[in-house]
Structure formats: structure tokens, C-alpha cells
């Protein structure tokens, strides 16, 4: 099956981007290089085409009740404009997807899901919506989305795009009437830096891209550095740290699963918490610069005790680090473990899975 293209595909080709398939789309991996794109976001401002992300609109009298039933975080009584991170879980506690829920207003919720899971998620949401007075609409094709990220983003978005955003607190959003359409802007992102995400029509998304890129102050950034950036601050990627077989608790995301309310998978998570975890995702820092990568085995005491979920030579710190799912008895900080990389075994120690401090504006 041919991959889909986002509304910004022609821009990527014109910029000479390296294109690779991701989540069913042909996406830009890098333009000039992962390292300088990564550094641009840490130090100044970068723009990402994230139009591949899926958007689902839930409306209707029971929309809050319904979303709270399929979502691990608790959105009950939230103010308009509030955004929540959380997961949808199977009854087993495994994760269908991780997502953002935007409370636009009392009976209107905007769900942002992973590109690779759009079909699965929409089917899941539709199936469970049957018993509720809600309308579910897959709006993924309608919206383009860019993420503008980095410490200079707020000033740049206000000055170059003329969009007032400094009033937005972390994890809040608002709708703005702009050139005959309603766009959504939120103070969110996936880099550990301050920044905004803008959801709009394909035409408006192209205008935003052009204005920011042509200013010379905002660097086009590909999915390559999106992954190195999110990894350094310990953010999970569905497919690596989260899967249908990994629970939020095992991924270290228990704070986003509110066990004091009811949702699909809640009982399984409560039972897992009561019994105690058998495995958990932690960080590992290697002594050498060899790079632990997804799927590599982690060893200790002469046996395999886990597997790497994501690993890099951290661009911001220069250290070779990874997140890994380990048997619980090896997850204490400073535990000595080793990662098998090709023919050799490289020693390291268990660390926190945040390798670089977030720089959010809260």
C-alpha cells in the first residue's frame, strides 16, 4: 500500500529532506542533519510537520462521561481549554494508544492520537461509543498540524505569525478565528522544550510553515530529531515504550492513570499495582560510547534481564543512554547491568529515564 503524504510534503521535497515511511506516511526524517536540528530546538526554535498525527472529535451530551471511560487520566470537571495526557487501555491494561485530550468546551473534546494507530484507535473509540450519547468524527484528514518548539518559540509565534499565545499556560489551548477559519493552538509538544502546536486547514498550515521557515529564524526539523529530543527527556513513543502488551504502570506513567475513577483497563491496572510490578522501564547509562538500540538485550548475572526500548548517544549530553524494560529486581538506581551490542557486552548502570531536564514554561 502506498504511503500517505501530509499537506506539507512538497515543502519537504523542495528543502531536500530525507524521506522515510513512518506510521503509514512518507515523512521527513531530516533536512540538514539530526544534530543541528536537535540543537536548534534546544537553543532557539524549530518547526516540525506533525500533520500525520490523527485527530478525533467527540461531541454530545455524554462526551465527558464517554472520554473518561476510555481514557486513563481524569478529565471530569476540567475547565475549557485544558489538555490532558493519558492512554486508552485494553481491559488487560495494555495500551491501545497514548494521546492528548483537549477539552474545547463542555460537550466537545478533541483527541490527538498517533499516526500509526489511527485506524485501530478510531475503531476502538467507535466501538465503545455505541452505549453513549456522543458523536465521534475522525478529522485526521481535515487537519494539518505543525509543532513549533524551542525557547524562542513564544516570541517568534507572536511576532511572525501574529498569533497571541503568551496567555496560554502549559497544557492549555484556545481557538482563534483566522482568515475565515478556526484554528487550534496549544502550549504542548514532544521535545521537552517550551512550544506550541497549531492545528488548522491544509492551506493555513502551509502558510504557517512558509512564514516561519522563510523568516530564517525557525529551522525545519524532521522526525529524526523529534525522536532524539523526546527520548532525552524521557517521553515515551508508542511502539517503543508503550504497546498493546505494556501497561502504563510498567512504562512509569502511573501518574497519568487515575485508579480512583473507572475506565477500561482500570481493574487490571489496580490488580497489577496491588500485586507489584514484575518489570518496569528504567534508564541505563553506558560507560562506553557504543549505542544501545531498540530491541538489544540487557544482561546481568549471566542472563537476559530485559530489552532496550529506545537508545541513543544523547546529542545534548554526549552520553550513550537508553530506556529499557527490565525485570523488576534489576530496576533500582545504580544497579549494574550490561547491554549486548553486536558481539560485545557493554557495562552500564540503571538511572532515571530522564537524561536531560525539561525546559517547560509553566
Q: Left (φ > 0), alpha (ψ -120 to 50) or beta: where does 72 sit?
A: alpha
Out of 3, 206, 243, 313, name the contact with another protein by CB under 8 A.
Answer: 313
201: nearest Cα among 8, 2, 4: 8
How many residues make contact with another protein (CB under 8 A)?
18
* 191 lies in the site for another protein, by CB under 8 A: no
DSSP conformational letter for 158: I
Out of 13, 35, 123, 169, name the contact with another protein by CB under 8 A.
Answer: 35
Stretch that binds another protein, among 27-35, 65-73, 119-127, 146-154 (CB under 8 A): 27-35
Alpha helices in 195-289 (DSSP H): 202-214, 223-232, 266-275
One character per residue 160-189, x = contact with another protein (rule: CB under 8 A): ------------------------------
Distance CA 247, CA 265 (A): 9
* 322 lies in the site for another protein, by CB under 8 A: no
Closer residue to another protein in complex, CB, 112/341: 341
* 149 lies in the site for another protein, by CB under 8 A: no
Out of 6, 30, 73, 149, name the contact with another protein by CB under 8 A.
Answer: 30
At residue 196, the 3 state secondary structure works out as: strand
One character per residue 113-142, x = contact with another protein (rule: CB under 8 A): ------------------------------
Out of 312, 330, 355, 356, name the contact with another protein by CB under 8 A.
Answer: 312
Q: Where are the beta strands (DSSP E) in the chain?
A: 18-22, 25-30, 46-49, 54-59, 83-89, 95-105, 108-113, 135-138, 144-149, 173-178, 181-186, 195-200, 219-221, 279-286, 297-300, 303-313, 320-327, 336-341, 344-351
Out of 33, 169, 203, 262, name the contact with another protein by CB under 8 A.
Answer: 33
* 348 lies in the site for another protein, by CB under 8 A: no
Out of 99, 100, 242, 315, name the contact with another protein by CB under 8 A.
Answer: 315
* 295 lies in the site for another protein, by CB under 8 A: no
Beta bridge partners of 238: 242
Stretch that binds another protein, among 2-10, 25-33, 104-112, 171-179 (CB under 8 A): 25-33
Out of 228, 272, 310, 331, name the contact with another protein by CB under 8 A.
Answer: 228
Stretch that binds another protein, among 114-122, 176-184, 250-258, 289-297 (CB under 8 A): 289-297
Cβ neighbour number for residue 261 with a 10 Å cutoff: 15
Distance CA 362, CA 171 (A): 9
Task: Identify whether the C-beta of residue 25 lies closer than 8 Å to the C-beta of residue 52.
Answer: yes
Distance CA 346, CA 63 (A): 51
Positions in the binding site for another protein (CB under 8 A): 29-30, 33-35, 224, 228, 289-291, 293, 312-313, 315, 320, 341-342, 344
Amino acid at each position: 500500500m502506498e504511503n500517505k503524504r501530509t499537506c506539507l510534503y512538497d515543502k519537504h521535497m523542495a528543502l531536500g529532506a530525507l524521506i522515510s515511511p513512518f506510521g503509514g506516511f512518507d515523512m521527513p526524517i531530516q533536512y540538514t542533519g539530526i544534530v543541528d536540528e536537535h540543537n536548534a530546538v534546544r537553543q532557539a526554535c524549530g518547526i516540525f510537520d506533525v500533520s500525520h498525527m490523527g485527530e478525533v472529535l467527540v461531541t454530545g451530551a455524554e462526551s465527558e462521561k464517554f472520554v473518561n471511560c476510555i481514557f486513563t487520566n481524569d478529565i471530569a470537571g476540567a475547565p475549557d481549554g485544558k489538555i490532558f495526557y493519558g492512554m486508552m487501555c485494553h481491559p488487560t491494561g495494555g495500551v491501545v494508544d497514548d494521546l492528548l485530550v483537549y477539552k474545547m468546551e463542555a460537550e466537545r473534546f478533541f483527541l490527538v492520537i498517533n499516526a500509526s494507530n489511527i485506524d485501530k484507535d478510531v475503531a476502538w473509540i467507535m466501538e465503545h461509543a455505541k452505549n453513549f450519547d456522543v458523536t465521534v468524527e475522525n478529522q485526521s484528514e481535515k487537519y494539518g498540524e505543525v509543532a513549533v518548539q524551542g525557547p524562542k518559540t513564544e516570541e517568534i509565534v507572536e511576532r511572525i505569525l501574529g498569533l497571541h499565545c503568551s496567555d496560554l499556560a502549559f497544557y492549555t489551548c484556545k481557538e482563534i478565528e483566522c482568515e475565515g477559519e478556526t484554528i487550534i493552538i496549544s502550549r504542548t509538544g514532544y521535545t521537552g522544550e517550551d512550544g506550541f502546536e497549531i492545528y488548522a486547514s491544509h492551506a493555513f498550515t502551509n502558510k504557517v510553515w512558509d512564514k516561519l521557515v522563510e523568516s530564517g529564524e525557525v529551522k525545519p526539523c524532521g522526525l529524526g530529531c523529534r525522536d532524539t529530543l523526546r527520548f532525552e527527556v524521557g517521553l515515551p513513543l508508542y511502539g517503543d515504550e508503550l504497546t498493546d502488551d505494556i501497561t502504563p504502570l510498567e512504562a512509569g506513567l502511573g501518574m497519568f492513570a487515575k485508579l480512583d475513577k473507572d475506565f477500561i483497563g482500570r481493574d487490571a491496572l489496580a490488580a497489577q499495582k496491588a500485586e507489584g510490578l514484575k518489570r518496569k522501564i528504567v534508564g541505563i547509562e553506558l560507560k562506553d560510547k557504543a549505542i544501545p538500540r531498540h530491541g538489544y538485550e540487557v544482561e546481568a548475572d549471566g542472563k537476559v534481564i530485559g530489552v532496550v526500548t529506545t537508545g541513543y548517544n544523547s546529542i545534548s549530553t554526549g552520553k550513550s543512554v537508553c530506556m529499557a524494560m527490565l525485570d523488576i529486581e534489576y530496576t533500582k538506581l545504580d544497579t549494574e547491568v550490561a547491554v549486548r551490542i553486536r558481539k560485545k557486552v557493554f557495562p552500564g548502570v540503571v538511572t532515571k529515564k530522564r537524561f536531560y531536564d525539561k525546559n517547560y514554561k509553566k
